[in-house]
């Protein structure tokens, strides 16, 4: 799974904003389900999650390439369980992957649920899959619908990974290059996954049509609900991105300038006097959580005035201080390791004494 966002690439602003969006969606889905269903849904959802987890481990060979693929499954769950239950189940699977397999990490979990579950369940399923299969549930129709919706969901997820990475400003990959890297790969993955998803849906439909029918009946995504549903997703999206950008502006103006520069390819934009940049700066000065940030930065810049990147660099970069930095690093690491060994030795001793 190449698409899992990672903690190491995220800035706190982007990470927490995506968490806020994800928690909001989970709460919305839970409320929606709690009103509509009986408690039987709890075991059904739980065991379906375990099912998808196991199914993700099964490999199959992709014809003509010799490589092997496996299932992602967001769209499959949306069709088999309905979008609300599917979102919660996907969220749970990603939580377990984050905790036990360190896939992504805890801060990135919010972004991962958003990228891999919200798009298939609330954009691709209601906007593409449902309209395409509404009047005609033939196998061919289901195949077309699931391939297009899986591809769309994955493309949105990939785009979202790129945006989160670029806005966080930890990677140097330019927006365009990164996008060109991600989108074609996920187009190919989407095509394969779409075909497999369609196969499983058709299989279940042929063997037990009542399972799919009950999804249709118990969670009617009829006109009224659907419009409100989608409006809500987009509203949430607007709030999330708005919040992300404004938080960014107050906490990390460098990052914002950097990313705008990368996206628009106009270095001048960030350096304008007056206008947005200075407004952001004054906001930042007023709301700075860590005033020492600036203190340290100016100290570093002053001492490192000799080198070329004086403005942007940190104390670590000042050549005059690199020797003391390396000495300090070794001492700190040695001290940390000593603490570990001493504690371990003490523990052995107390356990031995018992």
CA distance 58 to 68: 10
Q: Taking the alpha carbons of 199, 201, 204, 209 in that order, is the dihedral positive or negative? A: negative
Could you say whether residue 80 binds other proteins (CB under 8 A)?
yes
**Segment 17 to 46, residues that bind other proteins, using CB under 8 A:** 23, 26-27, 30-31, 33-34, 39-46
Is 310 a binding residue for other proteins by CB under 8 A? The answer is no
Would you give the binding string for other proteins spanning residues 311-350, x where CB under 8 A is met? -xxxxxx-x-xxxxxxxxx-xxx--xx-xxx-xx--x---
Residue 16 sits in the site that holds other proteins (CB under 8 A): yes
Of the pair 96, 127, the CB lying nearest other proteins is at 96
Closest CB to other proteins among 134 and 312? 312
Q: Please state, in angstroms and rounded to a whole number, the distance separating the CA atoms of residues 310 and 18.
A: 33
The residue from 79, 86, 93, 117 that contacts other proteins (CB under 8 A) is: 93
CA distance 227 to 219: 14
> Which position among 95, 143, 241, 250 is part of the footprint of other proteins (CB under 8 A)?
95
Question: Which of 17, 48, 111, 164 is close enough to bind other proteins by CB under 8 A?
Answer: 48
Cα 177 from Cα 144, distance rounded (Å)? 30
Report the C-alpha gap between 310 and 303 in whole angstroms. Answer: 9
Q: Which of residues 122-151 bind other proteins (CB under 8 A)?
A: none
Among 79, 88, 128, 215, binds other proteins (CB under 8 A): 88
Q: In angstroms, what is the minimal distance from the CB of 223 to other proteins?
A: 26
User: Rule CB under 8 A: is residue 292 a binding residue for other proteins?
Assistant: yes
Point out which residues pair with 68 in neighbouring strands: 61
Residue with structure tokens 């350096």?
A: 271
In the complex, minimum distance from the CB of residue 146 to other proteins, in angstroms, rounded to a whole number? 12
Scanning the chain, the segments in alpha helix (DSSP H) are: 12-36, 41-57, 74-81, 83-100, 106-113, 119, 130-133, 139-168, 175-207, 209-218, 223-251, 253-264, 268-271, 275-287, 291-303, 322-353
- Pick from 20, 24, 62, 276: which binds other proteins (CB under 8 A)? 62
Give yes or no for residue 211 binding other proteins (CB under 8 A): yes
- Residue from 86, 89, 118, 123 that binds other proteins (CB under 8 A)? 89
Give yes or no for a contact between 156 and 180, defined as CB atoms under 8 angstroms apart: no
Cβ closer to other proteins: 49 or 270? 49
């Amino acid at each position: 799974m190449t698409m899992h966002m990672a903690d190491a690439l995220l800035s706190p602003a982007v990470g927490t904003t995506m968490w806020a969006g994800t928690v909001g969606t989970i709460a919305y889905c839970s409320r929606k389900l709690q009103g509509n269903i009986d408690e039987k849904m709890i075991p059904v959802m739980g065991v379906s999650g375990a099912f998808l987890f196991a199914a993700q481990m099964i490999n199959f060979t992709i014809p003509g390439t010799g490589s092997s693929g496996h299932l992602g499954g967001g769209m499959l769950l949306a069709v088999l369980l309905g979008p609300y239950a599917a979102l919660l189940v996907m969220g749970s699977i990603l939580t377990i992957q984050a905790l036990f397999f360190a896939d992504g990490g805890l801060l990135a979990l919010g972004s991962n649920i958003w990228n891999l579950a919200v798009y298939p369940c609330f954009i691709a399923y209601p906007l593409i899959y449902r309209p395409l299969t509404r009047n005609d549930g033939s196998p061919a129709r289901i195949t077309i619908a699931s391939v297009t919706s899986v591809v769309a969901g994955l493309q949105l997820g990939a785009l979202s990974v790129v945006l989160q990475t670029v806005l966080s400003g930890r990677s140097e990959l330019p927006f365009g290059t990164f996008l060109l890297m991600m989108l074609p790969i996920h187009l190919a993955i989407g095509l394969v996954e779409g075909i497999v998803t369609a196969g499983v849906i058709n299989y279940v439909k042929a063997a037990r049509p009542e399972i799919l029918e009950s999804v249709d009946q118990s969670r009617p995504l009829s006109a009224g609900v659907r419009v409100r549903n989608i409006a809500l997703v987009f509203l949430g999206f607007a709030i999330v991105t708005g919040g992300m950008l404004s938080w960014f502006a107050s906490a990390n103006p460098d990052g914002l300038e950097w990313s705008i520069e990368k996206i628009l390819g106009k270095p001048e934009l960030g350096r304008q006097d007056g206008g947005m940049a200075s407004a952001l700066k004054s906001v930042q000065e007023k709301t700075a959580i860590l005033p020492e940030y600036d203190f340290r930065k100016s100290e570093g810049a002053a001492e490192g005035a000799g080198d070329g990147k004086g403005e942007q660099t940190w104390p670590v970069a000042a050549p005059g201080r690199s020797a003391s930095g390396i000495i300090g690093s070794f001492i700190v690491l040695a001290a940390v390791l000593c603490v570990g060994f001493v504690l371990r030795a003490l523990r052995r001793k107390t356990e031995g004494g018992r």
